[in-house]
Amino acid sequence: MNSENLNTILAQYIHDFAEPSQPDGEGTLWQAVDMFGAEWDIEAVDFPAMFARAMQGAAAQLDTPAVQPVGGLKLLMMRDSEVELVRECFRWLYNDENDDLKKRCGRAEMFADQITGRFRRCFPRMNKYTMTPADAVYFLNLWMPEENFFYTPVEAKAWADFMEYPVDFGNGASLNLTAYYAMCEELVTALKDYPDLIARHKERLRTNLGGINDQLHLLAYDIMHAAYQRGYYPKGFSRNATAKERAKAVKEKQTRAELCQQIAEKEQALQELQANPVQLPDLTGCRIVHKMFGAGTVLPGEGQFMVIDFNGTQKKFSYTASLSSGYLTTEDEAAMQRMRAYQTYGKTCDALQKELKTLKDELVKL
């Protein structure tokens, strides 16, 4: 996986993290998972009714005017003779005894073959209701989201192309689930270098999405989904791009790399500063001279303000603004040095934060 390209995508994803979840994104997927978990009962007496309730969220994700795998199962179970077959297919799909990824993939393919074969015998002219292994993998995600990864072919291909991952995952009977999961696991491993993003993701799960421990699988999918839907990829990265588009993409990639490097350097410098902060100096007792009020004595301060007693009259002044402007002076050089160090520290932190914001805004615009 191209780490430079990954940093480019994650910088944009982190910037957009607080925005409402995009269509078919993390929030809607977890609603489907939560609904399934609350309703699913393989032993239900009225299996078709239970299935309809459990799959409400899944139907919103999977069914379109062109393909309707959930609708197809509902239609198939309108025939009483097919209900137990569908139940047994799900019982077999959800059997995790001695499970490994290869067996899981095999069960998904077998599930799709069994349902599709049965449906074609019952409804030979209604192809949009048939099942693919990718649909079966979606059902596996509903059941064990921490073990599986949601899969959208066009989004997976775009991610693989941009990350220079040389695998075609296929679709239908040619679905290469092992390769797709391997790519997703690489992304999950890479995310461990982004602890702040992980913490924000877990907080979102806790507060909004039921607190399910997804092992970062949903976060990995949501990043790939957002990259495709929100246009994080540069124009021209596709293998089918023209020479002009590729040249522009190369230039944009170099610019992104430079921006990412600058951002990393600025963030490191800011972290180092914040790890050793310069404390606001205590000038209590120091003799201070004000251009208008004359000499006075510093009393115990109030936050960012110093209180000075001018022969019984007390005045408040900003620590930083008053001394730096020259209105206040002191003969205690050591106190002035402490004040200058504090002022320099604050100005440096502010400047780094402004530079970081500017760099990140430039990165998002590319």
What ranges do the domains of the chain cover? 3-231
pLDDT (0 to 100) of residue 142: 87
pLDDT (0 to 100) of residue 80: 92
- In the three-class reduction of DSSP (H, G, I as helix; E, B as strand; rest coil), residue 35 is classed as helix
**C-alpha 336: how far from its chain's center?**
47
- 298 close to 286: Cβ distance less than 8 angstroms: yes
Q: Which two tokens stand for residue 55?
A: 């799959």
pLDDT (0 to 100) of residue 209: 62
DSSP lists the bridge partners of residue 294 as 290
Beta carbons within 10 angstroms of residue 188's beta carbon: 15
Q: Which two tokens stand for residue 62?
A: 């999977």
The predicted-structure confidence for 22-55, as pLDDT tens digits, reads as follows 555 556 777 788 888 889 999 999 999 999 999 9
> Higher pLDDT residue, 68 or 334?
68
CA-CA-CA-CA torsion sign (240, 242, 243, 246): negative
Which residues fall within 8 angstroms of residue 91, CB to CB, at 6 or more apart? Answer: 42
pLDDT (0 to 100) of residue 239: 46
For residues 53 and 43, what is the distance between their CA atoms, to the nearest angstrom? 14
- Residue 190 binned pLDDT confidence (cut-offs 50, 70, 90): very high
pLDDT (0 to 100) of residue 249: 64
> Higher pLDDT residue, 112 or 366?
112
